Amino acid sequence: MSYLMCVLLLGLVLGLVAVASNPSPYFAAMGLVVVAGVGCGVLVGTGGCFLSLVLFLIYLGGMLVVFAYSAAMAAEPFPEGWGSWPTLRLVGGYLVGVAVARGLLGKNWYEEDWSGFDSILGLTVLRGDVGGVSLMYSSGGWLLMGGGWVLLLTLFVVLELTRGLGRGALRAV
């Protein structure tokens, strides 16, 4: 299990490097999918399986799918993958940065303890992640409404920006 967590975390960092090195949106979307999937694996490993499921469904299966389709609409004749020289340079740079950060901030070679969702609160009926969801709907009601307002505002902003054909800022494709 520790080994699996190591592999997942390595995939997370490599996916981050893959996205940040500025390839074409095709490949960057694939990098995002890998990062999201691996991140969900990390969540499962620390005990938050419900959150992981929700993340898979909504983020990967909702938002990333929409993003992948809109990236497909921005098709280029010569897409830059990670083999092309400018992207490869950035990949190398970021990997060096990761190594430097590990050297500066990392302490030892063995695994440190992640507290996870199970061991924080002691003996409870619900795990941490499901208990958090129930709290969000009960005590955090106002914050939930605030979060809902922000999402609605984002929708209005995007619709206003893409109204198209002279009345919006971006032309309708």
Partner 1 sequence: MTPLIYSTLIISLGIGTTLTFASTHWYLAWMGIEINTLAIIPLMTQSHSPRATEATTKYFFAQATASATLLFAATSNAFFTGSWDILQTNNPLSYTLMTLALAMKIGLAPLHSWMPEVMQGLTLLTGLILSTWQKLAPFCLIYQIQPHSPNLFMALGLLSIVAGGWGGFNQVQLRKILAYSSIAHLGWMVLILSFSPPLTLVAFSTYLMMTFSLFYSFMMTKTTHINSLSTSWAKIPTLTALTPLILLSLGGLPPLTGFLPKWMILQELTKQDLALVAVLAALFSLFSLYFYLRLSYTMTLTMPPNNPAGTLPWRLNPSHNTLPP
Nearer to partner 1, 20 or 88 (CB): 20
Give the position of tokens 């990236």: 71
For position 145 contacting partner 1 by CB under 8 A, the verdict is: no
| 99-138 footprint of partner 1 as x/- string (CB under 8 A) | ----------------------------------------
Nearest distance, CB of residue 137 and partner 1, angstroms: 17
Nearer to partner 1, 4 or 172 (CB): 172
Look up residue 88 and give its two tokens. 């490869």
How many residues of this chain interact with partner 1, rule: CB under 8 A?
16
Residue 157 per-residue DSSP state: H
Q: Are 71 and 19 in contact (CB under 8 A)?
A: no
For position 69 contacting partner 1 by CB under 8 A, the verdict is: no
Nearer to partner 1, 70 or 154 (CB): 154
Nearest distance, CB of residue 38 and partner 1, angstroms: 20
Look up residue 78 and give its two tokens. 């010569």
For position 156 contacting partner 1 by CB under 8 A, the verdict is: yes
Whole-number Å distance between alpha carbons of 153 and 160: 10
Whole-number Å distance between alpha carbons of 75 and 65: 16
What are the residues whose beta carbons fall under 8 Å from the beta carbon of 82, sequence distance 6 or more? 18, 21, 23, 27, 88, 91
